Structures are given as C-alpha cells and as structure tokens.
Structure 1
Amino acid sequence: MPTESTLILVKPDGVATGHIGDVITRLERRRFSIDALKVVHATPAELRQHYAQLVDKPYYPDVEEFMLEGPLVAIVASGVDVIESFRKMTGPTNPQDALPGTIRGDFGRAWDLGAIRNVVHSSDSPASAKREIKIWFPDFKG
C-alpha cells in the first residue's frame, strides 16, 4: 500500500497545555513518520488560506482569534492510511463527542470563549493535505 502525507496542527490550546509530546508520541506509536515539524505563530493570511471553506461562516472570526492566541506546532506526517488513521486517533471535532483514548477526548474542551478547544487539526483528505502542507511548509518536497 502506498504511503501518504498529512498535515497536523497542534493548536494553541494543545501547545499551552503541554500536549505536543502526546500528539507526537501517538503518531510514533502507530509507526507514522514525522517528515517536518516546526513551531509557528500563524498569521491571519495563513489562517484564511488554511480555513478557506470557513472564512464566510459567522463563527470564523472566533476560530481565527483562537488560532492567533499563541504558537502552534505544524507537523507533516506520513505512512500508510495516515490521514484516516490519524483522524480516528483525533476523534470528533467537538471534544464532548470524542471518546476517551482519542486526542480530543483526552485533552480537548468543549466550546470555550467562542471556539472549540480541540487540541489538533488534521487534514481530511489527500487533496486537503496537499493544499495545507503548502501553506505551512511551502518548501516541503515530500
């Protein structure tokens, strides 16, 4: 089976509460490779590109404000079925719906100050992964 790449963002809440290592450990335990990793302070322009499908939604300003609160960690990970596998590891968007044992179930919080604090973002498809990796790692050749 061919390998694929995905983009994972440890959001500002995950960074602030010390869960960068937890996310990396879960990736490594599943034998996925970490091909690129960096700490970044997102810009409004990067976030508008990343969340292009949400920019016109009434809740987008809260999403952007939350993502600008502090640093995030951008990760490119690869492996067989990494996109689907990591999304299962992540759990549903709303941490209240996420089972214990998932990243969001273990570390996320429900709506707080206008935005869900759900620790991580992960690409939802190969096309999204390719687009998102170019935003956060413009020179990545993987």
Structure 2
Amino acid sequence: MSSFRWVRPLQLTLALIKPDAVANPVISEAVHQKILENNFLIIRHKELHWRSTDSQRFYCEHKGRFFYQRLVEFMSSGPMQAYILAHEDAVQLWRNLMGPTKVFRARIVAPGTVRGDLGLTDTRNTTHGSDSVESACREITFFFPEFNTSDWYEKQEPRYRTGPVFYDEERSEHRLEGE
C-alpha cells in the first residue's frame, strides 16, 4: 500500500518504452523502475507490437522530415511498452526524466536521465513522451482506445490523488484500494 497524497490535481501523460529498450529486459526494467522511483502512478500498462501503418499514423505529423522513414521502421521493428502515467505535472516531469531527444546531448547535459543513461542513438533513444496535455490525451487515445481520459479526470483522479493506492506487481499498475 502506498501513501501517495498530492496537493494539486493529477495530470496524465503517455510514456512509451521503445523497441530498442524492450529488446533488452535489463533496460526495460530499469526504465520501469525509474518510473516508480519518481513516484509516477502507472494507471495503465501494456506491451504491443506495431505494424508499419500504426507507426505511420502515429508519426504522421513528421511525414516529409528526414528522420520519418527511419522512425516509422524502427517503431514497428519489435515490441514496445505503453504506459499511462499520472503525477501532478506528469507531462513535464516525464519529459525531464527522459532527457533530451538527442542521446549525445542527453549524455552531456542530462546524465542520470533515461536517454542520457540508456539511449543508443537519436532514433533508438529508449523512450517517447507526450509534449503537452493535449498531445497526451490524443496519444493515450491512440494507444488505449478503451480508456476515457475525461472520465478518468472526473471520476478517478480525485480518488488516485487522495488514495489509498497500491502497486499491483502482477499487472505492473497502480490500483485504488478496494478495486
């Protein structure tokens, strides 16, 4: 049982552990542990494998950019893990924990971040995170179409904020006591 208590309302964000990290169980587990160590609530978690068309749809805003094809192919190259995370300032906190997109820069200016410690290249940089609350809602819907963010904010957020909450190791998700 956890004694999480937040003063401000919780915010949701999407976090992805990319195929390069999922291919290495030690790295995948290290990222998962960083999420827990930084007091994120894991609201939903699943492993999935994208088809190329899924990757193209998700990254359509980057079509025409020099890295688009490489990114699309990489993101459909193997399994990945998707998370819905909650915290008071989840979008920014997750972005800070990930570190800069460019791995070389992350190693220099942000050691201790996921990308600074575990990233391989600018494409194989271990993680993805939403860049705004609006993006988080859109991206959560893309990966978790059954999850209703509006409903969660209205009905579940106050309960997760005030607890009690426990971490269900079998599901790798936080749960409300009694559910």
Unmatched runs of 5 consecutive residues or more in structure 1:
none
Instruction: Tell me the residue number matched to 1:94.
Output: 102
Tell me the SS of whatever aligns to 1:66. Answer: helix
Report the Cα distance in structure 2 between the residues aligned to 1:24 and 1:64, rounded to whole angstroms: 24
The CA deviation at 1:84 is: 0.4
Deviating 4+ runs (over 4 angstroms): none
Give the aligned length.
Answer: 138
Report the Cα distance in structure 2 between the residues aligned to 1:130 and 1:51, rounded to whole angstroms: 15
Unmatched runs of 5 consecutive residues or more in structure 2:
1-7, 153-179
User: Which whole-Å deviations, capped at 9, do the CAs of 1:114-141 have from their partners, x for residues lacking one?
Assistant: xx21000000100110000011100012
Q: Does the 8 A contact of 1:8 with 1:76 survive in 2?
A: yes
Q: Are 2:140 and 1:140 aligned?
A: no
TM-score, length of structure 2 as denominator length:
0.73
Equivalent residue runs for 1:1-142 within 5 Å:
1-18=8-25, 19-98=27-106, 99-110=110-121, 116-141=123-148, 142=152
TM-score, length of structure 1 as denominator length:
0.91
Flag the structure with higher helix content: 2
Flag the structure with higher strand content: 1
User: Which whole-Å deviations, capped at 9, do the CAs of 1:98-124 have from their partners, x for residues lacking one?
Assistant: 12200001001125xxxx210000001
Report the Cα distance in structure 2 between the residues aligned to 1:85 and 1:44, rounded to whole angstroms: 30
Q: Does the 8 A contact of 1:108 with 1:119 survive in 2?
A: yes
Tell which deviates more after alignment, 45-54 or 10-19.
45-54
The one-letter code sitting in structure 1 at the alignment partner of 2:70 is D
**How many percent identity over aligned positions?**
36
